[in-house]
Amino acid sequence: MKDYLVDAVILKSARTREADRVLTLFTRQVGKIRAMAHGVEKPASRKRGAVQPFSYSRLLLRRGRDIDSVSQGEGVEIFPALRQTLDGLARASYVAEMADAFTVEEDPNTGVFELLLATFNMLGRGCDPIAARAFDIKLMSLVGYRPGLECCTVCGAPGGERLWFVPGQGGVVCAECSPESGRGIEIKRGSLETLKALLRWDMGRIHQIRPDPRTGSEIAAVMKKFVEYQLEKCIKSARFLELVEKGFSS
Ligand SMILES: [Zn+2]
């Protein structure tokens, strides 16, 4: 079969020579793939709207020897707010880079596809910092790095008021076990409960979780450490997102 149809979220769109773009797509049907969009920079291109970064589009792809190409495209939801506001752009870039970093090509994962759509939907309606953290923990779980939050990951004890999150241990560690478990971040019980809710609750309801600023920054620190540990590198757009969230004040 030469042509095939995909439902795709556009993670990345890189301009190449002339009027072409190389797209990184996360599709419902085949997972992450790269595809060439020929001539989309030309003003008259009908595919243009459907291949904008962070859009949800239905694309007809044609198989190629090295890379498949977009022969037709139709935007299903284009989430304009994710490109038109700094806030939206920062968050969507972060989400897209995370999804790209934590997946490999041609490994379908409907959960990741649905999460991307739900997150872009949420971010497109107005940005809530907690949505990015919910995305972090949900994505990590979907790709096999679900953190252990229910009890101490070393001894299994429920743990007291003081707990540490140790990325190398894959989750929380109690006060007894923490000295031997290496570097971790102390995490308050309230932050832990919030993390659990971010993991469990539907993305559409995430805005109902409103942590106080201290809990919010504790969660952000924990997730950042965990992501960096699993990836063994930083997410480039994380810094941009941090600056936008702080309002460029520091
Ligand atoms: Zn323990």
Q: Burial-class residue 64 by CB neighbours within 10 Å (0-12, 13-18, 19+).
A: exposed
What is the distance in A from the centroid of ligand 1 to the CA of 150?
Answer: 12
What is the distance in A from the centroid of ligand 1 to the CA of 177?
Answer: 4
pLDDT at 226: 95
Go through the chain and tell me how many residues it has. 250
What is the distance in A from the centroid of ligand 1 to the CA of 104?
Answer: 34
Residue 159 CB coordination number (10 Å): 23
Structure-block tokens of residue 143: 């790709």
Q: Which residues of 199-224 are buried (b: 16+ CB within 10 A; e: fewer)?
A: beeebeebeebebeeebbebbbebbb
Structure-block tokens of residue 177: 């076990």
What is the distance in A from the centroid of ligand 1 to the CA of 187?
Answer: 14
Of the candidates 126, 36, 47, the residue with the CA atom closest to the CA atom of residue 80: 126
Compute the radius of gyration of the chain from its Cα atoms.
Answer: 20
pLDDT at 250: 45
What is the distance in A from the centroid of ligand 1 to the CA of 218?
Answer: 21
pLDDT at 127: 60
What is the distance in A from the centroid of ligand 1 to the CA of 158?
Answer: 8
What is the distance in A from the centroid of ligand 1 to the CA of 227?
Answer: 23
What is the distance in A from the centroid of ligand 1 to the CA of 194?
Answer: 21
> Is the distance from CB of 11 to CB of 21 less than 8 angstroms?
no
pTM of the model: 0.93
| Domain spans of the chain, in order of start | 3-77, 81-245
pLDDT at 187: 93
- 3-state class (DSSP) for residue 78: coil
What is the distance in A from the centroid of ligand 1 to the CA of 230?
Answer: 22
Number of H helices, E strands in the chain: 7, 8
What distance in Å separates the CA atoms of residue 82 and residue 199, rounded to the nearest whole number? 23
CA 86 to chain centre: 17
Of the candidates 156, 172, 154, the residue with the CA atom closest to the CA atom of residue 164: 172
What is the distance in A from the centroid of ligand 1 to the CA of 103?
Answer: 32
pLDDT at 62: 97
What is the distance in A from the centroid of ligand 1 to the CA of 25?
Answer: 42
Q: What is the CATH number of domain 81-245?
A: 1.20.1440.120
pLDDT tens sequence across 115-162: 999 999 999 887 677 899 999 999 999 999 999 999 999 999 987 778
Is the domain spanning 3-77 CATH 3.40.30.10? The answer is no
Owner of token pair 């991307």: 116
pLDDT at 135: 97
What is the distance in A from the centroid of ligand 1 to the CA of 161?
Answer: 13
pLDDT at 248: 61
Q: Tens-digit pLDDT profile for the chain (250 aa)?
A: 689 999 999 999 999 878 899 999 999 999 999 999 999 888 888 888 899 999 999 999 999 999 999 999 999 999 999 999 999 999 999 999 999 999 999 999 999 999 999 999 999 887 677 899 999 999 999 999 999 999 999 999 987 778 999 999 999 999 888 877 677 899 999 999 999 999 999 999 998 999 999 999 999 999 999 999 999 988 999 999 988 888 765 4
pLDDT at 181: 67
- 3-state class (DSSP) for residue 42: coil
Q: How far apart are the first and last CA of the chain?
A: 54
pLDDT at 22: 96
What is the distance in A from the centroid of ligand 1 to the CA of 184?
Answer: 13
What is the distance in A from the centroid of ligand 1 to the CA of 81?
Answer: 45
Distances (CA, A) of 73 to 29, 37, 39: 16, 10, 13
What is the distance in A from the centroid of ligand 1 to the CA of 175?
Answer: 7
CATH topology match: 3-77 vs 81-245:
no
pLDDT at 236: 93
What is the distance in A from the centroid of ligand 1 to the CA of 222?
Answer: 18
